[in-house]
A = this chain, B = another copy of it.
């Protein structure tokens, strides 16, 4: 592992300058600070924890809501802190907004500069500029619903999508449904691709028709409703599994407008079990992701990575929550009837 001495020699500066730059001393110019940080990252330098320093973790949030109880990220963060803080660790939240991005092009560089020993990413799209860096980064990172292959310092954490889809299809099959459709949000999220594939595997495992035409995905909700949904109805589906609750909720409202009754004409299932599911009309059958458990497990995965235990994947058991948006298969599949 590189030392301050190695960095100083490489850049032909004094050890004092390197040390000051790495610790954010104000008398080091911005350009010098940047090149020292870059060299440190490149050479695999890790700052030693000083005695009495608490280990610090950073939780990065992009678009996910987390401020209030009920927000998807809220319980994850609370769960993480419930484990980390009693163990003497500090937890800092960081929004991945435009300004932050511009100021911090390098993940490892940011982590080194701010003395973080590991990060939890709560949402990172497949097009995120940092995602590429995470293939070769050296600072432990746990990614909710994102999988980075071949980097021993990253862990994918989430809910077991295969098991979740198996439970949903089993439930619908028991209600007599044979032709089940799948409606997905943006394909620019790893988890949406995972769930899509898992859904079709589950159809096959249950011996149900599994034609790719039973699945449809779009970037925007408006396309889900305007294009994907009529396409699925044309396929003759009597039930639709949605990639997440908010999409299922919008679909239920759309069906209400069209006079399609839930669940008499069409069964709809969500994914997440957000608090809203108790209040949709009718209350929504969905897959529960236990967000507090996700947060707790994320802390374990991160401290394992920090201790050299290279967890690749950590998945939690999902739970099927049966409410009233699913019912017996209707005698005929619903059809769109535009006047």
Contacts and interface: CB of A to CB of B under 8 A. Distances in A.
Interface of A: 149-152, 160, 163, 166-167, 290, 293, 296-297, 300, 304, 308-319
Given A149-B166, A160-B313, 7 more contacts: A150-B163, A290-B310, A293-B308, A293-B310, A296-B309, A297-B309, A300-B300
Contacts of A166: 149-150
A311 B304 contact: no
B300 A304 contact: yes
16 contacts: A149-B163, A149-B166, A150-B163, A150-B166, A152-B317, A160-B312, A160-B313, A296-B304, A297-B304, A300-B300, A309-B316, A311-B314, A311-B316, A312-B316, A312-B318, A313-B314
Contact of A312 (B300, B309, B312, B315): B315
Contacts of A151: 317
Given A150-B166, A304-B300, A315 B309 contact: no
Contacts of A311: 297, 314-317
A219 B311 CA distance: 31
Sort A-B residue pairs by CB-CB distance and give the 6 closest, nearest first. A310-B317, A160-B312, A313-B315, A312-B317, A152-B317, A312-B315
Contacts of A293: 308-310
A160 B315 CA distance: 13
Contacts of A300: 300, 304
Nearest to A293: B309
A94 to B, nearest CB: 26
A318 B151 CA distance: 10
A304 B299 CA distance: 12
Contacts of A308: 293
A163 B309 CA distance: 16
A50 B53 CA distance: 38
Nearest to A314: B314
Contacts of A160: 312-313
Nearest to A318: B312
A139 to B, nearest CB: 15
A309 B298 CA distance: 12
Contacts of A152: 317, 319
A152 B316 CA distance: 9
A296 B308 CA distance: 11
A314 B309 CA distance: 12
Nearest to A159: B312
A160 B152 CA distance: 11
Contacts of A316: 309-312
A303 to B, nearest CB: 10
A166 B290 CA distance: 31
